[in-house]
Each structure stands twice: as structure tokens, then as C-alpha cells.
Amino acid sequence: MYELKPAQAGTLESNDIMITVAPGPIGSGVVIELESIVLAQYGQAIKKTIAGVIGEHNITDIYVKAVDRGALDCTIKARTLAALGRAGVIASKELI
């Protein structure tokens, strides 16, 4: 298990999503705060995608702030992976 450092990936441009990750208190689990232009329609799906990527890497106790500008699923996955890579919780060899 790696130590999680605060990190960020993505932009606030159209079709992108900015993902910020930070360590959560012990026992807090995965907490995702989402701001999106399509929150009502796709909010749950976006959170599920982010949680899915985090779950694949057995990361617990993480706080995620996501600001979505209409990103597709593949972009959400890529930005989440990039943020986790920069946070130091995914080894570079596992990133793809």
C-alpha cells in the first residue's frame, strides 16, 4: 500500500473532468463529491465510474472532488487514473 498524496488531473474545459484526490480519515472509505453540468442525468454513473477505478486498485479512505464538464466515460477513467498515479497510489507500471 502506498501513501496517498493530494493530486489533481484534468481541466475545466468542455468535455473534460477535473479530478482532485486527497487522503481521507481512517475508516472514511471512498468519498466522492461531484459537481457536474449533467448531475441530474449522469451524476450516479459518473460517481460509479470513478469509484470503479479506485476499487480496481484497492484504495480505501480517499476523498475525491470531481468537477465535470461533460466528460465521456473514457475521459473520466483516464483522469481518475492520472490523478491516482500522481497521488502515488498506483505504480506507473500498473497505470495501463
| Position 95 contacts another protein (CB under 8 A) | yes
> Minimum distance from CB of 26 to another protein (Å)?
28
Among 21, 54, 71, 89, the residue binding another protein under the rule CB under 8 A is 71
Contacts of 80 (CB under 8 A, 6+ apart): 9, 19, 49, 50, 53, 54, 64
DSSP letter assigned to residue 12: S
Residue 91 engages another protein in binding (rule: CB under 8 A): no
Interacting positions 5-64 with another protein (CB under 8 A): 9-10, 13-16
Helix (H/G/I), strand (E/B), else coil: 79? helix
Q: Give the three-state DSSP class for 36.
A: strand
Q: Which amino acid is at 89?
A: V
Query: Does residue 72 belong to the site contacting another protein (CB under 8 A)?
Result: yes
Residues that bind another protein (CB under 8 A): 9-10, 13-16, 71-75, 77-79, 81-82, 85-86, 92, 95-96
